[in-house]
Amino acid sequence: MSLGVLAEPFMQRAILACCLTGVVCACVGVVVITMRLAFIGVCMSHAAFAGALVGLLVGAPPLALAFPASLVAAGLVGPLADRSDFSPDTALGIIFASTLGASFIILGLMPGSKAPALGLLWGSVLTAGRIDLWILGGVTAAIVALALIFFKEVQAVVFDRRVAAAVGLPATALFYGILTAAGAAITASLHVVGGLLVFSLIINPAAAAQQLTYRLDHMLLIAAALGIVSALLGLAVSYLADLPSGAVIVVASSVVFGLAFAFSPKRRAVRAARGAA
Amino acid sequence: MALAVCIEDATVERGGRVALDRISLTVEPGLLLGVTGPNGSGKTTLLNLINGLLLPVSGHVEVLNEVVTPASSRRLRRRVAYLPQMAPPDPRMPVLVREVVLMGRYGRIGLGRRPGADDYAAASRAMQRVGLAELADRPIGQLSGGEQQRVALARALAQEATILLLDEPTTFLDQSARADLLELIAAIHAEGRLTTLLVSHELDFVRRICKRIVSLEQGRLTTTAEVAA
């Protein structure tokens, strides 16, 4: 492959989209996995995909419906996670299956070519347009700015929502703000990695960063860097091997996680402590 | 003398059932009050009523001369330190001891503002007081249960609150750590005359250090006993 492809506008847009997706998904992922909310994110990403399909079906902009759909999923699962009389796993199972079922019904109802819908399912970074980049850039900038401004509040909520509330922070509002940010990140990333795969890019770089540090600020930076590396590595491999970009990006992020896990100083420390005990 | 806590005929409902049933309680400033009772009797609900995390469906609650309402409760929580009953955090939790203690200051610092030198100094003093200064840069998840409860106590001290609410602080601790923590609580109260409500199953110790003990059963205050000095 000639490096000349890097001068092509479509590839430059793809590289920028990868960098932005890597950063925004990783930032959200750090909060999601530290709070052990992976199940809410899975539901949100599938709901976003279903919403986008509804948009395609009725002729509306897909992302305009994906965002509210992801928030509806968060609004349903989030409160259930707080209730002691209802298992969050059950809520996950119901909403996950419902959104996926609804998605495939909409796919079946869709007349003509299914290519745009499948593009939202698997992602298509090489066709990212200017509007996709503006949306992705805007959401990334907003989430990074909010993370910088409200770092201490996010840190307290991530540590324990009851502690955050007990010291006088608006813990519930912050929690739903985090879910909204996750919904925005998922929606903005749909075009790049697709509705089925976006959540892997949220989880893997953050989980990899969690293996490498005990500080939340460092974890955010490492996760963002690993998110970019995963996305660019996946893009390069998918272009060279002519494979679906979204799927390869997700596999690349899994490889990055595997390496971080294998060389995790935290894991070694736990092992050493167990050996000493 | 103004009361630290004044609850009059308050009823609290949780999940559709009455958790506290028309209770009345007054707490004078500087008092160390023990709260006992079986599981599910409403002890934690009582603490959450005092710090405004729960509001009564009827009755009147006044804390530090301020009526507890939806509008006042968050402001009030900055002056009422609360140690909820907590399971040990995830060992991989990316938060250091110093940061957990500093969280006690977050309410008073304000949204979107960064901690200043005063806040770091208050956190350092609190860690010093509970004997954790050398663990300040350790990850919170790597501490023992007793050390983690000391961190929680340091967080409450860093808050420089007027009232301290402790909900079963010795749960998950072994016998030795329980005794150490309760001694520390008693010492901190003796030094600062901080109005303290201690929910605990350690009846012998509660009787030894508390000036007054109230008992709850099925959401009702059943006993109020003054303890002789």
**pLDDT tens column, B219-228:** 998 877 777 5
Domain match, B119 and B229 both: no
Residue B106 Cα, gap to closest chain A Cα (Å)? 7
The sheet that has B80-83: what strands, in order across it? B80-83, B163-167, B195-199, B32-36, B212-217, B220-226
Domain count, chain B: 2
Domain match, B71 and B5 both: yes
Task: Identify the domain containing residue B60 by its residue range.
Answer: 1-79+163-173+194-229
Question: How many residues belong to chain B?
Answer: 229
Domain match, B168 and B201 both: yes
Strands B17-27 and B5-14, by their bridges, are antiparallel
pLDDT at A104: 87
Candidates B64, B73, B53; CA nearest to B12 is: B53
pLDDT over threshold 80, residue A255:
yes
pLDDT over threshold 80, residue B92:
yes
Question: How many residues belong to chain A?
Answer: 277
Whether B75 and A168 lie within 8 Å, measured CB to CB: yes
State chain B's mean pLDDT as an integer. Answer: 90
Residues 6+ apart with CB under 8 A from A272: none
pLDDT at A165: 92
pLDDT over threshold 90, residue A7:
no
Q: Which has more confidence, A243 or A1?
A: A243
Task: Give the model confidence (pLDDT) of A15-68 as tens digits.
Answer: 999 999 999 999 999 998 998 887 777 888 888 889 999 998 888 888 889 889
Residue B229 Cα, gap to closest chain A Cα (Å)? 32
Find the residue in A nearest to B72 (Cα): A168
Residue B188 lies in a domain: no
Domain match, B148 and B167 both: no
CB A32 within 8 A of CB A202: yes
Residue B181 lies in a domain: no
Task: Report which residue type is found at B113.
Answer: R
Residues 6+ apart with CB under 8 A from A179: A40, A44, A71, A74, A75, A78
Domain match, B169 and B67 both: yes
Residue B102 Cα, gap to closest chain A Cα (Å)? 10
Query: Cα separation of A80 and A43, whole Å?
Result: 13
Q: Average pLDDT, stretch A170-183?
A: 90
Give the dihedral sign, CA A202/A205/A208/A209. Answer: negative
* Secondary structure (3-state) at B40: coil
Task: Identify the domain containing residue A193 by its residue range.
Answer: 9-109+118-276
Query: Cα separation of B4 and B64, whole Å?
Result: 5
Calculate what percentage of chain B has a pLDDT beyond 90: 60
Distance of CA B104 to the CA centre of its chain: 12
B121: confidence class by pLDDT, cuts 50, 70, 90: very high
Domain match, B169 and B70 both: yes
The sheet that has B58-63: what strands, in order across it? B17-27, B5-14, B58-63, B66-67
The dihedral region occupied by B67, where left means phi > 0, alpha psi between -120 and 50, and beta the remainder, is: beta
Whether B51 and A218 lie within 8 Å, measured CB to CB: no
Query: A144: number of CA atoms within 13 Å, CB side?
Result: 16
Query: Cα separation of B136 and B196, whole Å?
Result: 26
Residue A167 Cα, gap to closest chain B Cα (Å)? 5
Domain at A105, CATH number = 1.10.3470.10
State chain A's mean pLDDT as an integer. Answer: 86
Distance of CA B137 to the CA centre of its chain: 24
Cβ-based contacts of A85 with chain B (< 8 Å) = 15
Which among A30, A152, A210, A266 is the top mutation candidate for probing chain B, defined by the most B β-carbons within 10 Å of its own β-carbon?
A152
- Determine how many CB atoms are found less than 10 A away from the CB of residue B203: 12
Q: Average pLDDT, stretch B177-195?
A: 86
CB B202 within 8 A of CB B23: no
Question: In chain A, positions 7-46, which contact chain B (CB-CB < 8 Å)?
Answer: 34, 36
Cβ-based contacts of B101 with chain A (< 8 Å) = none
Task: Give the model confidence (pLDDT) of A66-104 as tens digits.
Answer: 889 988 887 777 676 666 556 667 777 788 888 888 888
Residue A166, exposed/middle/buried by CB under 10 A (0-12, 13-18, 19+)? Answer: buried
Whether B112 and A170 lie within 8 Å, measured CB to CB: no
The token duo for B51 is: 């710090």
Whether A167 and B92 lie within 8 Å, measured CB to CB: no
Residues 6+ apart with CB under 8 A from B198: B32, B33, B34, B35, B166, B169, B185, B206, B209, B210
Domain match, B70 and B102 both: no
Cβ-based contacts of B96 with chain A (< 8 Å) = 214-215
Domain count, chain A: 1
Q: Choose among A162, A166, A215: nearest Cβ to B94.
A: A215
A277: confidence class by pLDDT, cuts 50, 70, 90: very low
Domain match, B50 and B96 both: no
Residue A4 lies in a domain: no
pLDDT at A61: 87
- For chains A and B, what is the number of CB pairs under 8 angstroms? 91
Cβ-based contacts of B112 with chain A (< 8 Å) = 149-150, 153
Domain match, B25 and B5 both: yes
* Secondary structure (3-state) at B14: strand
Residue B36 lies in a domain: yes
Cβ-based contacts of B90 with chain A (< 8 Å) = 34, 36
A165 touches chain B (CB under 8 A): yes
Domain match, B156 and B169 both: no
Task: Give the model confidence (pLDDT) of B154-184 as tens digits.
Answer: 999 999 999 999 998 888 788 888 888 888 8
Which uninterrupted H or E stretch holds B12?
strand B5-14
Domain at B205, CATH number = 3.40.50.300
Cβ-based contacts of A215 with chain B (< 8 Å) = 94-96
Interface of B with A (CB under 8 A): 15, 51, 53, 74-75, 77-78, 81-84, 86, 89-96, 99-100, 102-109, 111-112, 114-115, 139-140, 155, 159
Query: Cα separation of A234 and B108, whole Å?
Result: 46
Whether B51 and A215 lie within 8 Å, measured CB to CB: no
Residue B180 lies in a domain: no
pLDDT at A276: 47
